[in-house]
Chain A
Amino acid sequence: MIKTQGRRPSGVRGGQRHQRPGDAGAGLLFLAPWLLGMLLLTIGPMLASLYLSFTDYNLFDTPEWIGLENYQRMFDDPRYLRSVTVTAGYVALAVPLKLAAALGVALLLNRPRLGQGLYRSAFYAPSLIGASVSLSLVWKSIFSDGAIVDRGLGAIGLDTGGWVGRPEFSLPMLVLLAAWQFGGPMVIFLAGLKQIPGELYEAAAVDGAGPWRRFRAITLPMLSPVLFFNLLLEIIGAFQVFTSAFVIATGAAGGGGPAGSTLLYTVYLYGRGFVDFRMGYASAMAWMLVLGVGLVTALLFRTSRMWVHYAGDRA
C-alpha cells in the first residue's frame, strides 16, 4: 500500500487511517466466527432464495426456471401493489412515532433520579411482552367500542367509535402498537447517552450554555451514531414487520384484514409462500424488498456522512 506521507495530518477524516502491519491478520481472526456463519448459514440460503425467485417453486416439486416472470407478475398483482402502499404508510407513521417516544423517554430517564431503575423497567415493560395472541386480545379490548380509547377520545370531542374491525383505523392500531413498544430503541438511546462523557456537559455549563444549547451542541452530535443506528434499523424492521400484523390483524382471511387494510408486505409474502405454496413468487417479493430497502439504506448511509459523528474516527 502506498502511503500518502506528509500530505495531510493523519486521521483528519474517518476511514483514512493507515493500515498497520498485522491488521489484516487480526481482522480476519476477529471476523472468523462471522465469516464462518456467513458461509455456512447465510450466503447459501440467500443465493438459494435468489435462485428460487427466478423459478416456479411450490415447495414440493423441483423448481422450474421461468426467468423474470415472478418479477413481472408483481406489477399486475393488485394485492402486491396494495401491500406496498400499506407498508409504506406503516413505515412513514410507525418509525418517527416510535423513535420520538424512545428518545423522549430516554432523555427523561437519563437524569439520575430516585427510583430510576424502576422507571426504566416500567417503560420497558411493553417491549418485554412481544407480539402474542394474549397481547392481541388485550389490544383489541382497549380499542373496542366503548373501551378506554373510544371513551377518552369521546371526552375530548373526537367521536371515533371503536377502532377494531374498521379498515380506516386498523393500520393506526398497528402503528400505535409499534410506538407503544418503544423500549428497544429507548435502551439503545440510554446506552448512547451514558457513553457521552460528563466532562463535556460540565465544560458547556461553565460556558453558560442552556439546556437547549447543550442538547444541540453536545447530546445530538454525540448521540448521532446511535440515532443513525436506531433510525436505520427501525426503518428496516418496519419494512419487514410481520408478527404483530400477523397475530393482531389476522381477520379470518389469512391476515391483512379487515378489507386488506393491514396487508403488510411480509404478511402477503408469507401467505404466498407458505399458504399458497408459491415460494418462487415469495422469493421474488423478498428480493424486491431487498432492492427497495437497500436503496433507502444506501441513501441513509450516504446522508449520514453529513450528520453522524464518530469520536473514534475523528480523534
Chain B
Amino acid sequence: MRRLHAAAWHAGAVLLLIVVLYPVVWMISSSFKDSRDIIGDLDLLPAPPTGRNYATAAEGVAGIGVWRLFGNSLLLAVLSVIGTVVSSALTAYAFARVRFRGRGLLFALMISTLLLPFHVLIIPQYIVFQSLDLVDTYVPLLVGKFLAVEAFFVFLLVQFMRTLPHELDESARIDGAGHGRIFWNIVLPLSRPALITTSIFTFIWTWNDFFGPLIYLSTPDKYPLPLALQLYIDQTEATDYGALIAMSMLALLPVILFFLVFQRFLIEGVSTSGIKG
C-alpha cells in the first residue's frame, strides 16, 4: 500500500516534470542545432547535432574571455549574496523582533519602496554615483545590497522571523541575553530556510541582471554574462543565435550548481535541526 502510494507519487511528479521541463529540453536541444535552423524549426531534436555553438561560445565574446565573463558574474553574485543576507537579516530582525517607536511607519516606508518601478529611479541614481565618481566600477551594483535596499528580502525575512515563537527570546532574556545574542544564537539559526531562500534568489537575480550592469559598466573587461550575451545580436550583421543559446546554457550551469548545493539546506527546518542548533 505504502509502496503503491510512493509509485503513484513518482509517476505524478515525473509527468508534471515532463510538461515543465519541455521548454528547457527544447532550449538545450536548440543549442546543438545549426544557427540558421534555430528559428522556425518545429522539430525538438537537432538534425544533425553540432557542437559548433559551444565551440564559439567557449571562445568568449568580443575579445573578452569566457572565464573573465564568468569570473565577473561570479564576483558580483557572491558579493551580492553576502551583502544582501547580512544587511537584510539585520533589518528584518529590527522590524520583526524589536519594538520601538516609529516601527510601523518605517515598515510602511520600506514596503512603499517596492511599489515604484525602477525605471524612473535609474537616472537620479546614476547622477548620485556619477557625482561620486563611481561609474564604471562595481560599487553602484553592490552598495545597495550591503544596505538592504532590496525590500523584497527584508520583507521576506520579516515574515519568517515573525512566525518564530516568542518563548524562545523570553527564556534567552531570562538568561540575560541581549538583542545581539538573541539575533545571533536564536533567530538566525531558526531563519535558515528563509536565509537560504534569500541567498538563492539574490544569486540568480544578480546573475541574470542586465539593466544594472548596462547602465553602470562601460569597460568591456568588467562585463558580466548578460551584457556579453547581447553581443551576439546585431541588426545588420549576422546574429549568431546558436552561440547565443549555447552561451545561455553555459551561463546556467553555475546557477544550477548553486541551487543544487543550497536547496539541501532548505530541507532542514525548525522541526529537525533548528531547535537543537
**Chain A, 281-306, contact with B by CB distance < 8 Å: what is the 0/1 string?**
01100110110011001000000000
Assess whether A30 is interfacial by the CB under 8 Å rule: yes
Name the one of A26, A59, A134 contacting B98, with C-beta atoms under 8 angstroms: A26
Smallest Cβ distance from B55 to chain A, in angstroms?
A: 18
In the bound complex, do residue B117 and residue A266 qualify as a contact, i.e. CB atoms below 8 Å apart?
A: yes
In the bound complex, do residue B159 and residue A282 qualify as a contact, i.e. CB atoms below 8 Å apart?
A: no
Smallest Cβ distance from B270 to chain A, in angstroms?
A: 5
Assess whether A311 is interfacial by the CB under 8 Å rule: yes
Assess whether A116 is interfacial by the CB under 8 Å rule: yes
Name the one of A109, A190, A290, A312 contacting B96, with C-beta atoms under 8 angstroms: A312
In the bound complex, do residue A33 and residue B147 qualify as a contact, i.e. CB atoms below 8 Å apart?
A: yes
Provide the bound-state CA to CA distance between A266 and B118, in Å: 9
In the bound complex, do residue A125 and residue B24 qualify as a contact, i.e. CB atoms below 8 Å apart?
A: yes
Provide the bound-state CA to CA distance between A226 and B95, in Å: 16
**Chain B, 78-114, contact with A by CB distance < 8 Å: what is the 0/1 string?**
0000000001001101111111110100100111111
Number of interface residues of B (CB under 8 A): 104
Chain A residues with Cβ below 8 Å from B47 are: none
In the bound complex, do residue B270 and residue A197 qualify as a contact, i.e. CB atoms below 8 Å apart?
A: yes
Q: Which residue of A lies closest to B91 (CB)?
A: A34
Assess A310 versus B163: contact at CB under 8 Å? Given A27-B103, A33-B90, A141-B41. yes
Smallest Cβ distance from B74 to chain A, in angstroms?
A: 15
Q: Which residue of A lies closest to B24 (CB)?
A: A125
In the bound complex, do residue A37 and residue B120 qualify as a contact, i.e. CB atoms below 8 Å apart?
A: no
Provide the bound-state CA to CA distance between A247 and B44, in Å: 22
Smallest Cβ distance from A131 to chain B, in angstroms?
A: 8
Assess A45 versus B128: contact at CB under 8 Å? Given A116-B267, A128-B204, A197-B271. yes
Smallest Cβ distance from B76 to chain A, in angstroms?
A: 15
State which residues 248-268 of B face A: CB under 8 Å: 248, 252, 255-256, 259-260, 263-264, 266-268
Could you say which of A46-54, A74-82, A92-100 contacts chain B?
A46-54
**Chain A, 112-124, contact with B by CB distance < 8 Å: what is the 0/1 string?**
1110110111111
Smallest Cβ distance from B33 to chain A, in angstroms?
A: 11
Smallest Cβ distance from B154 to chain A, in angstroms?
A: 7
Number of interface residues of A (CB under 8 A): 108
Smallest Cβ distance from B13 to chain A, in angstroms?
A: 6
In the bound complex, do residue B100 and residue A34 qualify as a contact, i.e. CB atoms below 8 Å apart?
A: no
Name the one of B98, B112, B252, B263 contacting A294, with C-beta atoms under 8 angstroms: B112
Q: Which residue of B lies closest to A190 (CB)?
A: B266
In the bound complex, do residue A31 and residue B94 qualify as a contact, i.e. CB atoms below 8 Å apart?
A: yes
Main secondary structure of the interface of A (DSSP, over half): helix
Smallest Cβ distance from B130 to chain A, in angstroms?
A: 13
Smallest Cβ distance from B168 to chain A, in angstroms?
A: 9
In the bound complex, do residue B266 and residue A36 qualify as a contact, i.e. CB atoms below 8 Å apart?
A: no
Assess whether B23 is interfacial by the CB under 8 Å rule: yes
Chain A residues with Cβ below 8 Å from B267 are: 112, 116-117, 194
Assess A34 versus B116: contact at CB under 8 Å? Given A117-B264, A121-B259, A137-B30. no
Assess whether B220 is interfacial by the CB under 8 Å rule: no
Assess whether A250 is interfacial by the CB under 8 Å rule: no
Assess whether B62 is interfacial by the CB under 8 Å rule: no
Assess whether B124 is interfacial by the CB under 8 Å rule: yes
Assess whether B276 is interfacial by the CB under 8 Å rule: no
Q: Which residue of A lies closest to B118 (CB)?
A: A240
Chain B residues with Cβ below 8 Å from A46 are: 113, 116, 121
In the bound complex, do residue B147 and residue A36 qualify as a contact, i.e. CB atoms below 8 Å apart?
A: yes
Question: What are 24 A-B residue pairs whose CB atoms fall within 8 Å in the complex?
Answer: A19-B100, A23-B99, A33-B146, A34-B91, A34-B94, A34-B147, A37-B144, A37-B149, A108-B13, A117-B267, A123-B17, A124-B259, A125-B21, A132-B229, A135-B23, A190-B193, A194-B267, A196-B269, A226-B159, A226-B160, A266-B117, A311-B164, A312-B163, A312-B166
3 closest Cβ pairs, A-B complex: A194-B269, A37-B147, A130-B208
Q: Interface of B with A (CB < 8 Å)?
A: 6, 9-10, 12-13, 16-17, 20-24, 26-27, 30, 38-42, 87, 90-91, 93-101, 103, 106, 109-117, 119-121, 123-125, 128, 143-144, 146-149, 152, 154-156, 159-167, 178-180, 183, 193-194, 196-197, 200-201, 204, 207-208, 210, 226, 229-230, 233, 241, 244-245, 248, 252, 255-256, 259-260, 263-264, 266-271
Besides A117-B264, A196-B271, A286-B120, 9 more A-B contacts (Cβ < 8 Å) are A26-B178, A59-B123, A108-B13, A109-B13, A124-B259, A128-B204, A134-B244, A242-B117, A310-B163
